Chains A and B, each alone.
Chain A
């Protein structure tokens, strides 16, 4: 499997009034060519900061303390502003968490969609607009030619998000980063946009990093999943490995907290406690204080990654050969049983 992106030991701090926030603490992952990698995890765990780094778009109070991001033999972390502009225009495009603020309210849709082409290629205005129509139709804006002169507020929320996607894909990026692109949309439009992303992925053979809180969406769109907690990736694997054979107690908590339409009980399961303060991250496993399965060692020493399969690993001491066996929560037992029946011993196609 060919890697298109390789992130190594990334560490990012933010200076704030209250102190230095260690937002990203030694993050390692890679993106395979043509795949969709979903990043899930606690709000505030560093998903947006991580992907913003891939585009050289960090806030002014951010500091990359260490690490590298290898893209086609070059380290994005070391790139000059000029190289980054080229990268953003041609290779890596991003759909932001907040669709409303990523369109310019004073500029027509035609201009905005054609802009990346105008900036990064030598195409004429007329040809650029023709291309804008093609892409707008690709993302499902009907009657696109007639609407080129319309402004963002004349479109519905779902349409605006489609326009944002059109801008992101017009230059056929090699990597498309989607940071909660459907959070503000209803399920019907969400389904259309996910379908659209899949189509686009096939048509232009792009690799996708997809951030979302909706595990249903992850189940439908991801090839692989990385789970983040407190500035670290704590588990990663193929989508079936994460949904049916999760090993980290934080991943268990996420899967348990998801109500299904069948959920009847009076209270939802929520992971107890609050996320750690990233100004003074705790010693050992940052999740230990909230982890009912925590071992003594969790409070002292950070767990390394234990490999579960060639594609699946989790950073939890529970996987240490010396760890006691624990009784899994019922929902996780149910999922592991599906794993035993459907996937175990059959090998997952890596």
Chain B
């Protein structure tokens, strides 16, 4: 395989809300990572850990407190409002928002919500072409043509989420930030949407940042997974690594909390508790360190050897742990 091409590069990103005030929130505390062209990077973690804020920073909805975000080699902080480069960026990078209720304009019909981007970026050749594109998009996300003339409040939660997905796909983007795009959907439609996102990725070489807390779906769709806790990345590795050889205690706790669709097993599942006091907040200086090829953990200097050993041990017993 050739060296993967970096599409997005995030360096020392810090996002503080209301800095210096009483209600200051350190939503992102110095994170650095790359997103490769054509990959799906999953971003998981506790509610309030900064996942949405990360996504919003990447589409420049927020001005970062400090740090740098490069998209295809260009510093996105330097894009000028109204410039051609900015308009281009706004088309290429789309976000599917977490809250399907708040993100759709209640006064607009579904067909106009979906076609908004098509109009802004002049992507339809004619009125008829626009209509056809909208219908194709509706079908692609599992809705039907009769839905085009309805208003958002006339849909169920899951149906609204699919309208948001159709809207993002409408402008033929390169990079999609999907912020919990499937948690409001039933499992079969989740599967449909995930398959759909994968198909489009294969066809058009799209890159995804997939934010979610449904860990079984994230594992399935992601090439690599970043685990966030309290504004920091605590673990970053391939999906298989994170699930089969989790090293950071927060990741281990998170995985142990996943409910399984099996009542007999569910009655006996014992989640592992996590204490941030020991692994994050004891005052030690910590960084993301590569402790096994491609496997990074948020660790202090004196913890590195322990994680390296744990990784080796975990890999040594792989065949046993997989059989369970």
Interface residues of B in 143-172 (CB under 8 A from A): 143-144, 146, 149-151, 153-159
Docked-complex contact B156 and A261, CB < 8 angstroms:
no
Known: A216-B261, A259-B216, A342-B264. A18 touches B190 (CB 8 A): no
Question: For the complex, is A119 an interface residue (Cβ under 8 Å from B)?
Answer: no
Q: How far is B258's CA from A279's CA once the two chains are assembled, in angstroms?
A: 38
Q: How far is B158's CA from A254's CA once the two chains are assembled, in angstroms?
A: 15
Docked-complex contact A43 and B186, CB < 8 angstroms:
yes
Q: How far is B261's CA from A18's CA once the two chains are assembled, in angstroms?
A: 38
Docked-complex contact A215 and B261, CB < 8 angstroms:
yes
Docked-complex contact B139 and A157, CB < 8 angstroms:
no
Docked-complex contact A187 and B101, CB < 8 angstroms:
no
Docked-complex contact A338 and B264, CB < 8 angstroms:
yes
Return chain A residues, CB-CB under 8 Å to B219.
259, 261
Docked-complex contact A183 and B184, CB < 8 angstroms:
yes
Contact with B along A258-272 (1 / 0, CB 8 A): 111101000111110
Q: How far is B259's CA from A185's CA once the two chains are assembled, in angstroms?
A: 13
Return chain A residues, CB-CB under 8 Å to B186.
40-43, 45, 213, 254
Docked-complex contact A268 and B183, CB < 8 angstroms:
no
Docked-complex contact A277 and B46, CB < 8 angstroms:
no
Docked-complex contact B261 and A243, CB < 8 angstroms:
yes
Contact residues on A (Cβ < 8 Å of other chain), bracket: 35 or more
Q: How far is B280's CA from A312's CA once the two chains are assembled, in angstroms?
A: 50
Chain B interface residue count, Cβ-Cβ cutoff 8 angstroms: 64
Q: How far is B144's CA from A254's CA once the two chains are assembled, in angstroms?
A: 21
Please give me the residue from chain A that is nearest to B101 by CB atom. A98
Known: A254-B188, A261-B216, A263-B216. A183 touches B259 (CB 8 A): no
Q: How far is B149's CA from A279's CA once the two chains are assembled, in angstroms?
A: 14
B276: min CB distance to chain A, Å: 12
Known: A14-B154, A243-B261. A188 touches B253 (CB 8 A): yes
Docked-complex contact B264 and A43, CB < 8 angstroms:
no
Contact with A along B215-237 (1 / 0, CB 8 A): 11101100000000000000000
Docked-complex contact A156 and B188, CB < 8 angstroms:
no
Question: For the complex, is B295 an interface residue (Cβ under 8 Å from A)?
Answer: no
Return chain A residues, CB-CB under 8 Å to B216.
258-261, 263
B159: min CB distance to chain A, Å: 5
Q: Which residues of B contact A (CB under 8 A)?
A: 23, 44-49, 98-99, 101-102, 139, 142-144, 146, 149-151, 153-159, 180, 183-192, 194-195, 198, 213-217, 219-220, 243, 253-254, 257-267, 269, 271, 274
Q: Which residues of A contact B (CB under 8 A)?
A: 14, 16-19, 40-45, 48, 59, 97-98, 100-101, 154, 156-158, 180, 183-191, 213-220, 239-240, 243-244, 253-255, 257-261, 263, 267-271, 274-275, 277, 279, 338, 342
